[in-house]
Amino acid sequence: MGREVNLDAPRILVLNAGYEPLGLTTVRRGVVLVLSGRAEVVSPSGEVLHTPSRPYPVPSVVRLYRMVRRPNGRLALSRKNVFRRDHYTCQYCGRSGVELTLDHVVPKSRGGRTTWENLVTACKACNAKKGNRTPEEAGMRLLKEPRAPGYYEVIVLGLSGREFPEDWRDFIAV
């Protein structure tokens, strides 16, 4: 007997009729889209969903037959999403696997706002070293300039740090 398939796991890439990525969906919804005739399997996952009546192949990528409006791709600004954007890595020293905090690049006390462009992941040591100063004043450099994630990054961030299947690389520019 094969391993059980988690029906509620967001593991299927959904493409628009023009093959542009729309997002991720659950195994349950992906199989229903195909069985209802609203989507076709572009790439199978190799897994099988066993039901009392018959087995159904689980897709890895599906393409909708009808064009739908693409979501705006805006990811909510939250602590978790900043950590995910920065790959759980301190943006000053590059360390990961340590206790992390959020840092306002321009401190709030100096008019810094809570935006994608002003928040970075920092380890506690770097955050304490920087204190209530800008990185330049503290003699520190950011590894990369903070910015709001783009549409494709939203899809990739939706994977919660997991590696995504090789067959998705044809559709997601990373």
Q: Per residue in 134-155, pLDDT tens? A: 999 999 999 999 999 876 666 6
pLDDT tens, 98-137?
A: 899 999 999 999 999 999 999 999 999 999 999 999 999 9
Instruction: Determine the average pLDDT of the residues in 78-87.
Output: 88
- Burial class from Cβ neighbours inside 10 Å (0-12, 13-18, 19+) for residue 151 reads middle
Query: Of 143, 25, 154, which Cα lies nearest the Cα of 77?
Result: 154
Rounded-to-integer distance, Cα 11 and Cα 26, Å? 6
CATH number of 95's domain: 1.10.30.50
What residue type is 22 in one-letter code? L
Are the CB atoms for 140 and 131 separated by under 8 Å? no
- Residues 65, 91, single domain; the answer is no
Q: Flag whether 63 is in a domain.
A: yes
Q: Flag whether 135 is in a domain.
A: no
Domain range for 27: 10-71+151-168
Q: Flag whether 145 is in a domain.
A: no
List the structure tokens of 89. Answer: 């890595």
Q: Flag whether 119 is in a domain.
A: yes
- Total domains, the chain: 2
